[in-house]
Structure 1
Amino acid sequence: MDYLKELEGKRVHDHLDEKTAKPRCIWVPGPLIVGAGPSGLAAAACLKQRGVPSLIIERADCLASLWQHKTYDRLRLHLPKQFCELPLMPFPKNFPTYPTKQQFVSYLKAYADRFNITPVFNKTVVSAEFEQLGSFWRVRTTGLKSEEAEYACKWLIVATGENAESIMPQIEGMNEFGGPILHTSEYKSGDMFSGNSVLVVGCGNSGMEVCLDLCNFSARPSLVVRDSVHVLPQEMLGRSTFGLSMWLLKWLPMRLVDQFLLLMSHLMLGDTAQVGLDRPKPGPLELKNKSGKTPVLDVGTLAKIKTGQIKVFKAIKRFRHHAVEFVDGKVENFDAIILATGYKSNVPSWLKESDMFSEKDGLPRESFPNGWKGGCGLYAVGFTKRGLLGTSFDARKIAEDIELRWKAEASHLTAFPRAPPPPQL
């Protein structure tokens, strides 16, 4: 028996049942989207363009909470704006080539307004599982005051992204250090570290840029470089390195484009290995394609490393009291530690499904461009390791796919736009 059809046409339960204390239940006629970041907004906009309504639920109190609450003040988009716009709406023409954090957030707010996207905030998903008997998704949430709610839907879109949770490595002796140890998600500005010796752990774009910011506020930063890393100029030949790479790939194989990028980088930046930044054997594009590891686009940090304003160290062996011992035996004193150790997906903690997403890293098992669709009406947007270009691809494909299914049920769903959830099975 199709429980959803049996229950359509009845009123939704908008409050807790006083006798049974069951959570309020909400039937979502269209897709339910988990996450109100750029990925969730893009999916909702593409669906709306095709006449499919959706509902976004978000654990934070605002759109794009990572951008608004967990990024440093000096952050700008690392790629030119034309590669970072969401579907159906370009950036304002008066925005610079590399928009600031504040400008990007204002763009996202304008995007939500344009497509009349109104997420339900402060809803943390506790679990989402597919009910085989009724062929629907049951999504349980909790709110600010621990109030529970339950959503039922035929289509579930996971838009929580690759950066849902901070990665906090456990290193021997961390409890002995005695000074502040914080993740870059808590870092705002080098102002609070002026005059201090600060160790930044991680040499990706965030770690490199935080080091530069610390220099600008008269701190004494050092950088832990555990692995090899590609450092490229942000621009080459008057064009963005990323844009130039995309153009060259239209005409040349990836191997030749990588050789060109490395040659230009050597001419413009010199031999980075001489300052402790060894390059991986695979070229920057090949490495990105295979592992998702993004090359660093230098915005001035390398020059500070060359002049000694930023010291480079190998991997950490252990922490001591206001000091760090490195694997090569060196011991240095530091006042604070900043962990630029990245983020991870949190999907395995709440999605009770293991076919589409890997339990190991929380990413779709199928690589781009095939990771956007799973079974039983499950979709993923923003897990491509290809930034906002990948997000736009996912959002368009998802909207196109759901539209076909929506149209098949359109007359029925329009007649009964809201229905209570299926009974407890």
Structure 2
Amino acid sequence: MLDKTDDISLQVECWLAQFEHALTDAGDLTLLFHPDSFWRDVLALSWTIKTLNGVDAILRELPGDARSARPIGFAIAPNRAPPRRVTRAGICAIEAIINFETALGRCSGIIRLIGDAAADNRLKAWTLLTALDELKGFEEQVGAMRPRGDSYSRDFRGPNWLDQREASAAYADRDPTVLVVGAGQAGLAIAARLTQLKVDTLIVERWPRIGDNWRRRYHALTLHNQVHVNHLPYMPFPPNWPVYIPKDKLANWFEAYVDAMELNAWTGIELESGSYDEAQGRWTVVLRRVDGTTRTLHPRHIVMATGVSGIPNLPDIPSLKNFSGQVLHASQYDDGENWKGRRALVIGTGNSGHDIAQDLHSSGAEVTLVQRSATLVTNIEPSAQLAYANYGDGTLEDNDLIATSMPLALARRSHQMLTEQSRQLDQVLLDGLTRIGFKLDFGEDSTGWQFKYLTRGGGYYFNVGCSDLLVEGAIRLAQFSDIESFVAEGVRIRNGETIKADLIVLATGYKGQQHLVRKLFGDDVADRVGPIWGFGDAQELRNMFTRTAQPGLWFIAGSLAQCRIYSKYLALQIKAIEEGLLPRATD
């Protein structure tokens, strides 16, 4: 019996032995899974990213997936965090990192065991993660697999390293296998993963320099989460970097990363259109340079790495045309110095709206922040960092696997608990905001800021001082619902007051990726793919990091941590398709 010893490692080993026996010899899995259990598979057994909840649902799919994948060798992973007792989503459990193999790959995972009160407190699996790490015979070209670059095998009359790099990036006589659209953290992460798997990959970026997607944002911007969470694959940030990374420092790192990781990238060039040839299994894409000239390529895969959203959302405000001053979307805003001594309205109360309002105020402008809808507000420290508490201890590799192992339902439960903790920590600030009429919310079912991000890409603010300025009255607050109309000199409020302005900044967010898909690839492709980002009926982000209904079209987006984690799994799928191990699209 699993519960007859206090030795945690022995209990885990016993469960793993019984689990492997049940999978390989058609044993009884029902004794091994808690009634309220979760299995998340990330390519290891099913070649999909999926989560199943409940022992009945797990037993309907796990045996069949196991017969196809043929997993063996389940064991506690050496050189990783040892089995330990933890609390996840409010539940005490034994947690262990495991290794195993399948017919095609080497895998890792996490098992969490809890007692089943209905079975004499027998230890059973509460959560199980099975994740593919590498394909046998197609390992990444890193570490022991790195290229040699032998001194004695050089061709002194042939091209040197630089010649080879320039020829590789020119694509004069070939097409890339993969075209990555966008050179932010998503594009760089997936391009680096694919390059290490020897998949020919080209990044195209519309801005003149790598990193401009951060470099060109407003002057005072820094990341809102801490440095130890935000590394890119293979190259962690130096240990002397600041806790909160400035935008220009990150932008310069992106540029250096492309060079150091030998990624092929074209800048100042934009994807204009694309069409897919089913018979040939490849795309025809037209790329347009800033000078108007074009280049046509035929990649087999396109990875859209343009962010959770890429097209500015400009709300239809009929009377806005009456305003005689300057109107900017937040994406166009740079610096408040030009507005010193002048008046500004910032419409929108997410991170960008608050930060721009604070930047304008710091530059000496008279600022009014206009709230359109209820907004979650949390102090950047410690409240906003609670979600990353695990990253304060242990290795990045272990913490990424732990993050991957949390099924949606338990992640929601965890964030509900964190949101309540944040409310208590921030009570003084929240009371002050309520007092001035700021409309607060805490996410759907009080799941907090991270689920706002995962479902809508915004709707929250990490307070770095703007909320305090609002409470003090240094920045004025107005409600959009109180605006009667925009007029030449600003806005007229329903009580007859006019709030004067020289500048209006629309911090109104962005449209979802499906709008860009429709623009670039047409209605048929957009309709075939369907919604992107957010959660549908399944317990995974829609169409992210995995095959879609459109062959050869992939999506990656999210924070640096999300892109670091899931770029590995997306790259493994593309590599498997290229090697004939996996069909090109979902059924």
Under a length normalisation based on structure 2, what TM-score does the superposition of the two structures give? 0.60
Cα deviations by residue, 1:53-95 (Å, 9 ceiling, x for unpaired):
21112222221332122x1111101111222222222112111
Farther off after superposition, 244-253 or 350-359: 244-253
* Residue in 1 that maps onto 2:469: 304
* Alignment partners' CA distance in 2, 1:164 and 1:178: 28
- By relative contact order (CA 8 Å, sep 6+), the higher-ranking structure is 1
* 1:223 and 2:369 correspond: yes
Aligned pairs for 1:116-265 within 5 A: 116-236=262-382, 240-244=385-389, 253-265=414-426
Q: Does the 8 Å contact 1:323/1:333 carry over to 2?
A: yes
State the one-letter code of the partner of 1:333.
Answer: K
* Residue in 1 that maps onto 2:181: 34
* Alignment partners' CA distance in 2, 1:245 and 1:311: 38
Displacement of 1:199 in angstroms is 0.6
Q: Does the 8 Å contact 1:172/1:317 carry over to 2?
A: no
* Alignment partners' CA distance in 2, 1:228 and 1:365: 21
Aligned pairs for 1:63-82 within 5 A: 63-69=210-216, 71-82=217-228
* Residue in 2 that maps onto 1:275: 436
Displacement of 1:162 in angstroms is 2.7
Residues 128, 251 of structure 1: CA spacing in aligned structure 2 closer, same or farther, 3 A cutoff? closer
Residues 269, 260 of structure 1: CA spacing in aligned structure 2 closer, same or farther, 3 A cutoff? same
* Alignment partners' CA distance in 2, 1:327 and 1:287: 31
Cα deviations by residue, 1:371-395 (Å, 9 ceiling, x for unpaired):
222141221111xxx4222222331
Q: Does the 8 Å contact 2:485/2:492 carry over to 1?
A: yes
* 1:393 and 2:539 correspond: no
Within the candidate set 555, 569, 582, 1:380 is matched to: 555
Displacement of 1:289 in angstroms is 4.7
Q: Does the 8 Å contact 2:330/2:507 carry over to 1?
A: yes
* 1:266 and 2:427 correspond: yes
* Alignment partners' CA distance in 2, 1:180 and 1:40: 33
* 1:95 and 2:270 correspond: no
Larger Rg: 2
* Alignment partners' CA distance in 1, 2:456 and 2:422: 18
Cα deviations by residue, 1:279-323 (Å, 9 ceiling, x for unpaired):
226322454454443521100111111111101101144210112
State the one-letter code of the partner of 2:566.
Answer: D
* Alignment partners' CA distance in 1, 2:551 and 2:412: 40
Residues 125, 288 of structure 1: CA spacing in aligned structure 2 closer, same or farther, 3 A cutoff? closer
State the one-letter code of the partner of 2:552.
Answer: G
Residues 64, 167 of structure 1: CA spacing in aligned structure 2 closer, same or farther, 3 A cutoff? farther
Cα deviations by residue, 1:168-213 (Å, 9 ceiling, x for unpaired):
2332222221111112222222111111111111111111111111
Q: Does the 8 Å contact 1:38/1:64 carry over to 2?
A: no
State the one-letter code of the partner of 1:194.
Answer: K
* Alignment partners' CA distance in 2, 1:36 and 1:287: 25
Q: Does the 8 Å contact 2:271/2:288 carry over to 1?
A: yes
* Alignment partners' CA distance in 2, 1:64 and 1:123: 14
* 1:404 and 2:576 correspond: yes
Q: Secondary structure at the match of 1:296?
A: strand
Displacement of 1:148 in angstroms is 2.3
* Alignment partners' CA distance in 2, 1:59 and 1:379: 19
Q: Does the 8 Å contact 1:232/1:296 carry over to 2?
A: yes
Displacement of 1:240 in angstroms is 2.8
Displacement of 1:327 in angstroms is 5.6
Structure 1 residue runs without a partner (length 5+): 1-23, 410-425
Residues 339, 124 of structure 1: CA spacing in aligned structure 2 closer, same or farther, 3 A cutoff? same
Residues 265, 393 of structure 1: CA spacing in aligned structure 2 closer, same or farther, 3 A cutoff? same
* Alignment partners' CA distance in 2, 1:84 and 1:203: 25
Q: Does the 8 Å contact 1:245/1:257 carry over to 2?
A: no
Residues 246, 205 of structure 1: CA spacing in aligned structure 2 closer, same or farther, 3 A cutoff? farther
* Residue in 1 that maps onto 2:193: 46
Aligned pairs for 1:303-382 within 5 A: 303-315=468-480, 316-326=483-493, 330-344=497-511, 345=513, 346-352=516-522, 353-355=525-527, 357-358=529-530, 367-368=540-541, 371-372=544-545, 373-374=547-548, 375-382=550-557
Q: Secondary structure at the match of 1:164?
A: strand
Residues 376, 278 of structure 1: CA spacing in aligned structure 2 closer, same or farther, 3 A cutoff? same
Structure 2 residue runs without a partner (length 5+): 1-170, 393-402, 404-409, 582-587
* Alignment partners' CA distance in 2, 1:245 and 1:356: 38
* Alignment partners' CA distance in 2, 1:42 and 1:400: 13
Residues 365, 232 of structure 1: CA spacing in aligned structure 2 closer, same or farther, 3 A cutoff? closer
* Alignment partners' CA distance in 1, 2:528 and 2:381: 37
* Alignment partners' CA distance in 1, 2:177 and 2:329: 37
Q: Does the 8 Å contact 2:342/2:366 carry over to 1?
A: yes
Displacement of 1:142 in angstroms is 2.1
* Residue in 2 that maps onto 1:7: none
Displacement of 1:336 in angstroms is 1.5
Q: Secondary structure at the match of 1:402?
A: helix
Q: Secondary structure at the match of 2:361?
A: helix
Displacement of 1:26 in angstroms is 6.8
Q: Secondary structure at the match of 1:313?
A: strand
Residues 274, 365 of structure 1: CA spacing in aligned structure 2 closer, same or farther, 3 A cutoff? closer
Q: Secondary structure at the match of 2:287?
A: strand
Higher strand fraction: Structure 1 or Structure 2? 2
Q: Does the 8 Å contact 2:433/2:470 carry over to 1?
A: no
Q: Secondary structure at the match of 2:267?
A: coil
Q: Secondary structure at the match of 1:325?
A: strand
Displacement of 1:222 in angstroms is 0.5
* Alignment partners' CA distance in 1, 2:219 and 2:434: 30
Percent of residue pairs bearing the same amino acid type: 25
* Alignment partners' CA distance in 2, 1:290 and 1:402: 26
Q: Does the 8 Å contact 2:228/2:391 carry over to 1?
A: no
Q: Secondary structure at the match of 1:312?
A: strand
Displacement of 1:243 in angstroms is 2.1
Farther off after superposition, 305-314 or 283-292: 283-292
